[in-house]
A and B are shown apart, each in its own frame.
Chain A
């Protein structure tokens, strides 16, 4: 298995390189000069513009810029923001907040999604199942920011149960509302996935065998139906952590969470290449690691799968 993990880690290198190159190209192709934009509507001072541009290697051709970025990144120097702060420090401040938010969303959506999906699958065609179908379709159909503003208005402004914005205090209590909003869509998908998978497994051979052996309903459902239904759900969850972190941008905006999404948004607007690329690289790494974890989990869920 260690051999397998090592091989996967090696595969990650070209993926990360390719991703940084792509993103760098996109930032580079953004029209307009980010340094000119720093001057706002006042006349641009050419001497100062040139000297700032040189500091950020902005006048180099883009391949050279990318190589310089990579070279520095290998030594742990991810460059400076236009506000002269190390990119590593800026990301270091924002990343834990987003990670916390995404993990909370992941826990909420997986616990609720699997439970509701499992129950709906067992009670196929009954009232609970139909209700959940409607709820999940609704959640998937309505854009996330609508829920964001709606929940903010209801629970924050009207009822006053939850703080409207998170700001500096990223505690679990403050992040609860944004985490629910962030996890809402995935909750619906997990619910659908679990339910379909459970329905399928209920009629599978091994479940019939288990029942024929005289096992109790409870034991059949939890050990044979649920566990085997988890494979597609785990696949989804693994990829979802990355999606949640990258997709937190809308939720973070609505609840003013000082996380990675807000940071990326601002950096893209300002054409701050080094920040954008560093954030994206981090996201790519998270995807790579999570997909490895998912593959390893398969082996645990389904003993027939072995990695040698």
Chain B
């Protein structure tokens, strides 16, 4: 049974040339997939959670789309070009249509983004427009404006985007749902549109029954890069992944992208299903603010940070507490990101080495003795947080001989309030889920000087310079090299200590083919057949 399961794994990890016949195979079977009741109206700029995202991603197509490996390719866009990485010109392909028959034009995009960034429309994903000139740090148009000044329509098939500062991988942001186009009819009655959206994606929105399911049928007009290879997708809403797992076992549900914790130890050996376990994109870290005594900028602080990193046995925690549903980090991003490398200077600081850790800590103590205790704050409403923070502080206690202890906050909101107010006064757990598949997105918003999510107030001029350089770089190899250099600085300073990446733990019913997962840990539903 174990052998059978690992064979399945190998086949699915290996690529598309297995039994489904890669791109050729299409079938009429409708695929059912696990989802949850959408929490907001189905408007792309107002969809920021998985339940709505699962639907929106399938019924819309953006300027670019993401391939399974995280790289991007033009979809509606014919070209997205810039000489200075700051003023981008977008040309869109002709012939794209919304499912109501109207054309997809430059205005379909610009009007949709203006709508999303207009604070009066209360769109939850307005944040994604913040790189564009004419928006504030939160992505909305200041002073009640209705249009983003950085967006200009040139003609029906061309528009320009002016950014606040140059950013070389800006186009790779454009596949995210906030950047999808809207048909003109949407603006007449957005409430009605949110209930029955009209898109330009591989599927049409047929119907949705609250708390039950959303039915998507293959689009007749779509001619993009993600064509539907099945007879439709039905997203079934569950309250409880345990129930969905039973449905997969019985063959009532084709794909479940999150195996419930209760089944994590057994699902890989379960012969009634196909099991998937692959690295995923979200990561977990511990941020140690520079304001903590003993961890200030400088040699002493760096030694202590490195000692803590080396004193953590990541393997033990991911195995024992997470049953392999987390994979120890080897960098600050994720193995799914384009340009990911295991060859970064100073990466060995993530390897468990109790003796070396103790030695580093002693060196720091020689500079100035450490007083007090090392506290790691966490939110108790996140599943499993208590267990791993306790295990981690115990490891620190045993391996470094210091006084380390966890500190629980009842909710995520309470932890974040103290973190953003800078009143927390301890180390704390952090995590990042990328907005788009790029290593840059794991570094700049978190470790850039003064960046929006720089919770530890880290600042390093060399890192800022490298990020700036990477933003101006014109080719990928050069950019990836600069990301690696930037990470080498982070490995030295360790403003946050990388712990692990959340992996994809998924299950599919027997007989379901071509199940692959993308950088968002989501199945590529349009490719699945049975």
Contact = CB atoms under 8 A, between A and B. Distances in A.
A31 interface: yes
A213 to B, nearest CB: 57
B240 A39 contact: no
A14 interface: no
A167 B240 contact: no
Interface in B457-471: none
B40 A82 contact: yes
Contacts of B272: 157
A47 interface: yes
Contacts of A52: 122
B119 A93 contact: no
B138 A40 contact: no
A84 B41 contact: yes
Contacts of A265: 239
A195 B210 CA distance: 44
A160 B244 CA distance: 16
A156 B240 contact: no
Interface string B329-350: 0000000000000000000000
Given A31-B410, A45-B127, A83-B40, A168 B213 contact: yes
B247 interface: yes
Contact of B210 (A31, A84, A85, A156): A85
B250 A42 contact: no
Interface stretch (B92-100, B158-166, B366-374, B411-419): B411-419
A266 B194 contact: no
Contacts of A119: none
A37 B413 contact: yes
B22 to A, nearest CB: 32
B433 interface: yes
Contact of A51 (B39, B122, B194, B410): B122
Contacts of A55: 122
Interface string A140-155: 0000000001001100
Q: Which of B126, B194, B246, B252: most chain A CB closer than 10 A? A: B246
A83 B41 contact: yes
Given A33-B413, A163-B252, A47 B238 contact: no
Contact of B119 (A47, A90, A165): A47
A172 B253 CA distance: 21
Given A84-B41, A263-B211, A160 B239 contact: no
Given A37-B413, A48-B140, A94-B211, A156 B246 contact: yes
Secondary structure at the B interface, as helix, strand, loop or mixed, is loop
Contact of A157 (B238, B242, B250): B250
Nearest to B253: A165
B36 to A, nearest CB: 9
Interface range for A? 35 or more
B27 interface: no
A211 B420 CA distance: 81
A32 B414 contact: yes
Interface in B111-142: 119-120, 122-127, 137-140
B249 interface: yes
B197 to A, nearest CB: 14
A293 to B, nearest CB: 29
A152 B246 contact: yes
A262 interface: yes
Secondary structure at the A interface, as helix, strand, loop or mixed, is helix
A281 to B, nearest CB: 20
A51 B236 contact: no
Interface in A130-184: 149, 152-153, 156-157, 160, 163-165, 167-168
A43 interface: yes
A67 interface: no
A270 B39 contact: yes
Nearest to B430: A41
B387 interface: no
B250 A256 contact: no
Contacts of A33: 413
A254 interface: yes
Interface in A28-69: 31-33, 36-43, 45-48, 51-52, 55
A39 B452 CA distance: 15
A273 interface: no
A296 B522 CA distance: 57
B209 interface: yes
Interface string A241-257: 00000000000111110
A93 B211 contact: yes
Contact of B140 (A47, A90, A165): A47
Given A42-B48, A45-B139, A168 B119 contact: no
Contacts of B502: none
Interface string A63-92: 000000000000000000011110000100
Contact of A46 (B49, B138, B414): B138
A160 B433 CA distance: 40
Nearest to A44: B138
Contact of B243 (A36, A43, A90, A256): A256
Contacts of A113: none
A164 B127 contact: no
Interface string B387-429: 0000000000000000000000011111000000000000000
Given A32-B413, A165-B252, A167-B236, A254 B39 contact: no
A235 to B, nearest CB: 33
Contact of A254 (B119, B210, B242, B452): B242
B239 A266 contact: yes
A168 B240 CA distance: 16
A101 to B, nearest CB: 14
Contacts of A252: 239
Nearest to A166: B212
Given A256-B239, A266-B239, 14 more contacts: A39-B127, A41-B431, A41-B433, A43-B138, A43-B452, A45-B126, A48-B126, A93-B211, A152-B243, A157-B246, A157-B249, A157-B250, A165-B243, A256-B243
Interface of A: 31-33, 36-43, 45-48, 51-52, 55, 82-85, 90, 93-94, 149, 152-153, 156-157, 160, 163-165, 167-168, 252-256, 258, 262-263, 265-266, 270
- The 8 A-B pairs of least Cβ separation, nearest first, read A32-B413, A258-B211, A168-B212, A45-B138, A47-B119, A253-B240, A157-B250, A32-B411
16 contacts: A37-B413, A43-B137, A45-B119, A47-B119, A48-B122, A48-B124, A83-B40, A84-B40, A163-B252, A165-B246, A167-B212, A168-B209, A256-B244, A258-B210, A262-B239, A265-B239
